[in-house]
RNA sequence: GCGGGUGUAGCUCAGGGGUAGAGCGCAACCUUGCCAAGGUUGAUGUCGGGCGUUCGAAUCGCCUCACCCGCUCCA
């Protein structure tokens, strides 16, 4: 991305964030208390939009398919589940930072070094009557000049100088003492500087269960699930036994997951609490790779159906070495966000890894039994795992548009429109009486509202001029507005009676439609 | 986690140690026959939060929180 494009996209993203707040799509969590990092709340329109997305995903993947069933697992997760999956223990890398350069290093990957350590307690500068007290140390390798330690230490202490004009060379070091050490990993091999203590970066939220749980009672520890997948694997056998289903089949789930991300970024894109839409599709080992391809195509089609065109999506075939160790094939489906191309969904062929691990740790027989072939085995699994909140953000970014429109007087204005597909749009129809001070128009509009509202989310609006009301609906992405006028009431004869103006958002075109046909017309567009 | 930036009305932003501002939006009423029309009236702020300096802080200092940008990280 060029600098100019990058800046334009930053501005665009700012406008999207601003619109989302202004119109009630997304708010920062706990905003009146200063905000909670990495957490977001959906307002009235955001909640409708998200609901539409989840409902459509569920309908397409569960209700309209015989071979996929749904489930809804608990968020609090038994620690043994996550020990088996490898989330506890395996994925918490100890990290430390270089005190001099701030570089971050993996503590377990530092080569042990030997030499002389020079310790200091602080530094001062006589001329400016400045001093700092802080423990610091530098490692000098065998055969290296000891003055290197002093130079490095002065550089370190100079970071605390308020007057940056003072040269590090003019600092007096205090409390120097030295000792010989062997095989230490406490120093940065690059510059000899002391490192911070190693800290674990396990991204799981941990909690304790039970009212009287003892802080030291390890058995009371539970986790907020870091992915929905594990609850599916753990209930695999129960779902199998209660549903008379045969391979290949899937278990689908929509639900919240939690990761204590070090650095949440890009609006709602990387949040600490997020919702996933996931399918674990179980199959015979020999069908896994082909099903991965099939699911990739099916998922790409899904995005097109909700209004994210194929040309704004990228498929990344994760190469050997970058995939999780258990995966033979993984595709990432990415979207061109204004802040860059980022992942929406992963389609991963996970083999029998998860079921194998849970069989080992639980010591339970969770195999699939093929009665006809008289076979007993652990199925392989293909996992299309989509980020719900990320998809919402993609829908909003994709829909956002500023058009220049020219009015009758030739004046140019900007029209802000969200081009949501009727399927996803939070409000399907805006219902507008042409004038609010004519009771007959208002009553008729209210009748239409009552006619449609059991079937879809509609919005009644009588405030302000008709043009303004159209624009308000454009800004929240309402695909259709119907306007009740005097023709509707029969003032221009029976032919026009009980018809309304149907105004389409994207083209701004208008046509006449009978009230009796409205429901079917809109339902057809939004299914 | 590091570095830089920002934070004032619902939104966009101006101001800058001494009574809190504009535009847009919002609400009510009037007007209004289809694309942000006009008029009248009105509501809204702990100037992100805390501590300090000061007779007095939105303004200066320190701390902190959040967001944005660049690194870093992301099973």
Would you say residue A211 has pLDDT above 70? no
| Nucleotide showing the shortest C1' distance to residue A201 CA | B73
Tell me which nucleotides of strand B come within 7 A of a protein CB: 1-3, 7, 10-12, 26-28, 30-37, 48-49, 65-75
pLDDT tens digits, A274-297: 999 999 999 999 999 999 999 999
The phi and psi torsions of A268 (rounded to 5 degrees) equal: -85, 0
CA A377 to C1' B8, in angstroms, rounded, equals 66
CA A87 to C1' B50, in angstroms, rounded, equals 39
pLDDT at A419: 95
pLDDT tens digits, A63-119: 999 999 999 999 999 999 999 998 887 656 667 777 777 666 777 677 778 888 888
Would you say residue A332 has pLDDT above 90? yes
Which ipTM did the prediction report?
A: 0.90
| Nucleotide showing the shortest C1' distance to residue A30 CA | B66
Distances (CA, A) of A503 to A123, A210, A255, A431, A468: 74, 57, 37, 10, 13
**Residues A402 and A422: beta-carbon distance below 8 Å:** no
How high is the mean pLDDT of chain A? Answer: 88
CA A412 to C1' B12, in angstroms, rounded, equals 20
Residue at minimum CA to C1' distance from nucleotide B71:
A103
Would you say residue A464 has pLDDT above 80? yes
| Nucleotide showing the shortest C1' distance to residue A340 CA | B69
What are the tokens at A23?
């119109």
Give the rounded percent of residues in chain A with a pLDDT score beyond 90.
55
CA A37 to C1' B5, in angstroms, rounded, equals 18
CA A156 to C1' B16, in angstroms, rounded, equals 37
**Residues A261 and A270: beta-carbon distance below 8 Å:** yes
pLDDT at A157: 78
CA A82 to C1' B71, in angstroms, rounded, equals 32
Query: What is the sign of the dihedral through the CA atoms of A512, A517, A522 and A524?
Result: negative
Q: Three-class SS string for A88-145?
A: CCCCCCEEEEECCCCCEEEHHHCCCEEEEEEEEEEEEECCCCEEEEEEEEEEEECCCC
């Amino acid at each position: 991305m060029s600098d100019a494009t990058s800046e334009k996209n930053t501005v665009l993203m700012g406008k999207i964030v601003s619109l989302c707040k202004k119109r009630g799509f997304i708010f920062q969590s706990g905003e009146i208390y200063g905000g909670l990092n990495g957490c977001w709340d959906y307002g009235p329109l955001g909640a409708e939009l998200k609901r539409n997305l989840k409902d459509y995903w569920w309908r397409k993947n569960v209700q309209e398919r015989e071979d996929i069933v749904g489930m809804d697992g608990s968020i609090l997760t038994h620690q043994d589940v996550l020990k088996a999956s490898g989330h506890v223990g395996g994925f918490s890398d100890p990290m430390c930072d270089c005190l001099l350069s701030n570089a971050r290093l993996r503590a377990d990957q530092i080569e042990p070094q030997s030499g002389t350590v020079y310790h200091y307690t602080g530094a001062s500068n006589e001329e400016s009557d400045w001093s700092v007290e802080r423990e610091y140390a530098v490692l000098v390798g065998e055969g290296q000049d000891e003055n290197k330690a002093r130079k490095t230490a002065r550089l370190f202490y100079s970071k605390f100088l308020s007057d940056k004009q003072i040269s590090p060379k003019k600092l007096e070091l205090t409390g120097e003492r030295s000792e010989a050490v062997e095989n230490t990993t406490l120093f940065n091999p690059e510059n000899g500087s002391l490192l911070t203590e190693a800290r674990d970066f396990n991204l799981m939220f941990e909690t304790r269960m039970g009212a009287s749980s003892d802080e030291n009672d390890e058995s009371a520890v539970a986790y907020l699930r870091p992915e929905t997948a594990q609850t599916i694997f753990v209930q695999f056998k129960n779902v199998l036994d209660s549903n008379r289903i045969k391979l290949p089949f899937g278990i689908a789930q929509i639900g919240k997951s939690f990761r204590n991300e070090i650095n949440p970024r890009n609006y709602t894109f990387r949040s600490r609490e997020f919702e996933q839409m996931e399918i674990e599709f179980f199959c015979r080992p020999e069908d896994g790779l082909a099903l991965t391809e099939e699911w990739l195509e099916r998922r790409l089609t899904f995005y097109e159906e909700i209004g994210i065109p194929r040309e704004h999506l990228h498929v990344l075939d994760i190469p050997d070495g970058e995939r999780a160790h258990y995966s033979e094939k993984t595709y990432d489906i990415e979207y061109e966000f204004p802040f860059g191309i980022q992942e929406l969904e992963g389609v991963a062929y996970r083999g029998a890894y998860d079921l194998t691990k849970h069989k080992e740790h639980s010591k339970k027989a969770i195999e699939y039994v093929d009665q006809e072939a008289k076979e007993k085995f652990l199925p392989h699994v293909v996992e299309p795992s989509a980020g719900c909140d990320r998809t919402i953000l993609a829908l909003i970014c994709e829909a956002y548009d500023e058009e220049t429109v020219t009015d009758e007087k030739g004046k140019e204005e900007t029209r802000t429109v969200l081009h949501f597909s009727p399927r996803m749009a939070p409000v399907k129809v805006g219902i507008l009486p042409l004038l609010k001070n004519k009771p007959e128009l208002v009553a008729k509009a209210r009748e239409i509202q009552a006619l449609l509202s059991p079937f879809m989310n509609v919005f009644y609006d009588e405030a302000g001029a008709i043009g303004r009301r159209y624009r308000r609906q454009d800004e929240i992405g309402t695909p259709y507005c119907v306007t009740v006028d005097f023709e509707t009431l029969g003032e221009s004869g029976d032919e026009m009676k009980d018809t309304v103006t149907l105004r389409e958002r994207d083209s701004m075109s208008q046509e006449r439609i009978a009230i009796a046909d409205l429901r079917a017309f809109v339902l057809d567009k939004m299914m």
